[in-house]
Amino acid sequence: MPAPGRATARSWLIWLAAVTVYLLAVFHRTSFGVAGLQAAERFGVGAAALGTFTVLQVGVYAAMQIPTGVLVDRYGPRRVLTVAVLVLGAGQLLLGVAHSYGLGLLARGVLGLGDALTFVSVLRLVAAHFPGRQYALLTSFTAAVGYIGNLAATVPLSLVLDGAGWTPTFLAAGAITVLYTVVVALRVRDVPAGERPPVREEVRPRELAHQVAEAWRTPGTRLGFWVHFSTMFAPNALTLLWGVPWLVQGQGQAKATASALLTVFVFGSMAGGPLLGGLIGRRPSLRMPLVGGYIGGAVVVWALLLGWPGPVPVPVLVPAFAFLALGGPASMIGFALARDYNPLSRVGTATGVVNVGGFVATTIAALAVGVLLQATGGNFRLALLALVAVLAFGTVRLLVWWRRTRTHLFLAEARGEQLPVRITRRRWDAALPETPIVAA
């Protein structure tokens, strides 16, 4: 179904109602960033067990990305978003009353499931209600609204937790979320007024598996996966779980200061996203150089933070966090690669595959930090080396698939295929066929 030629006021109201669900999802997703210390005390667990909360939640999110796309295609974004709000609210209500570690884990797993249903659904509504030329703009707006939810889960949530306590805070958050189901049911519509909903076709498991396999075999998809893997996991691991414990227990910062420092990630992402998006929109050939620049800079930042003698001063932490925050915007390059290197019929599946990368890396990193903290008696300097190890692994795989993708592009050009972005042959391409290059 083609998108309308012009967005109406109704389209904007539908987007606003839907994107608020994404705001709530991000708020719930990142709420453990400032609640980690209270969670350890409430459930009587150590660092490794605490890390399992994030591992489970993010793992559920990652596992549900491709199925979510299928559900949206089959049942429509309105129904999926309605279920998402109910599941998110139920998860937070359960967390509010949980006193055992097992019940707390179940609650975070339920939250991960609800979270996983939101972003793809909102983007499908954008595609249906707005013209194609506004898709990138609305995607940026959607991400920006999500950062507002992230911001609410830092200092404001910390203050409420300290004042009202665990149970009232999370019960209130869960109740508000469940009540928002009414707004979604009344305001969100799958298609613009006057248009008939598309015919929902059942997807056979074998066909779905084949489509996922084809997307995974495409070198550009694999490159996008490793771009996403390597860039977004570090800010995720800090904001979702380990930022406040590291700053409070490892750096000696007050809890209020630690929560405030996490807002640097939010503002850094909000500012960096539009700037980076505008730059690569004008010059797509800069995509991989920008990814390389971020990874190189991240290595320097981690060397500075982990090698600093004694507590790292706030004037050093702020710019360091601001730079690491750019990993979120940089990870969006992975989706652009998926879009460019796959046929239109497979772009949604390829996007889901790429989106798994960063959350798999976050899961590995969060768990590894917790295990190392437990093994070293709370030594954050050693435990956070796990983030450097994940970064190194992702970078190696990224370089492998970057070169394989370039090989694929040269061969495609030799076959006479049209490719969208110009690149230049380098010395490391010497073994490739001697062909003129116009590639993405």
Dihedral sign (CA 116, 117, 122, 123)? positive
Q: Which two tokens stand for residue 32?
A: 């453990």
For 285, which DSSP code?
G
pLDDT band, very low/low/confident/very high, at 84 (cuts 50, 70, 90): very high
Q: Which two tokens stand for residue 332?
A: 């969006």
Is residue 279 predicted with pLDDT exceeding 70? Answer: yes
Tell me: the pLDDT tens digits for 9-59? 888 999 999 999 999 999 998 887 778 778 888 888 887 787 788 778 878
Tell me: the pLDDT tens digits for 230-254? 998 999 888 877 888 899 988 988 8
* Cα–Cα distance for residue pair 249/267, rounded to 1 Å: 24
Which stretch of 59-63, 203-207, 392-396 has the lowest confidence by average pLDDT? Answer: 203-207
What confidence score (pLDDT) does residue 428 get? 62
Q: Which two tokens stand for residue 277?
A: 């998006």
Tell me: the pLDDT tens digits for 250-272? 898 888 888 888 889 888 888 88
What confidence score (pLDDT) does residue 418 get? 62
Tell me: the pLDDT tens digits for 322-356? 999 999 888 878 877 877 777 756 666 777 788 88
Domain 208-414, what architecture? Answer: Up-down Bundle (1.20)
Q: Torsions phi, psi of 99, nearest 5?
A: -120, -15
Question: Stretch 115-137: mean pLDDT, rounded?
Answer: 77
> How much is the pTM?
0.76
Q: Which two tokens stand for residue 246?
A: 């590291």
Tell me: the pLDDT tens digits for 141-163? 777 788 788 888 877 888 898 88
State the virtual CA torsion across 213, 219, 221, 227 in degrees, nearest 10: 140
What confidence score (pLDDT) does residue 145 get? 83
Is residue 304 predicted with pLDDT exceeding 90? Answer: yes
Per the rule left: phi > 0, alpha: psi between -120 and 50, beta: everything else, 165 is: left
What confidence score (pLDDT) does residue 294 get? 95
Closest CA to 34 of 347, 256, 270: 256
What confidence score (pLDDT) does residue 431 get? 55
Q: How many CA atoms lie within 13 A of 107 on its CB side?
A: 24
* Cα–Cα distance for residue pair 84/153, rounded to 1 Å: 19
Q: If residue 429 lies in a helix (H) or strand (E), which one and from where to where?
A: none
* Cα–Cα distance for residue pair 77/83, rounded to 1 Å: 10
Which stretch of 72-81, 277-286, 362-371 has the lowest confidence by average pLDDT? Answer: 277-286
What confidence score (pLDDT) does residue 433 get? 46
What confidence score (pLDDT) does residue 323 get? 95
Fold classification of 7-191 is Growth Hormone; Chain: A; (1.20.1250)
* Cα–Cα distance for residue pair 54/28, rounded to 1 Å: 12
* Contact indicator for 363, 229 with CB cutoff of 8 Å: no
Give 87 or 284, the one with higher predicted confidence.
87
What confidence score (pLDDT) does residue 198 get? 59
Q: Which two tokens stand for residue 385?
A: 């080396």
What is the location of CATH 1.20.1250.20 in the chain? 7-191, 208-414
Tell me: the pLDDT tens digits for 347-374? 667 777 888 898 889 889 988 998 899 8
Report the amino acid identity of residue 306.
L
* Cα–Cα distance for residue pair 336/421, rounded to 1 Å: 12
Which three-class secondary structure string do you get for 170-212? HHHHHHHHHHCHHHHHHHCCCCCCCCCCCCCCCCCHHHHHHHH
* Contact indicator for 336, 276 with CB cutoff of 8 Å: no
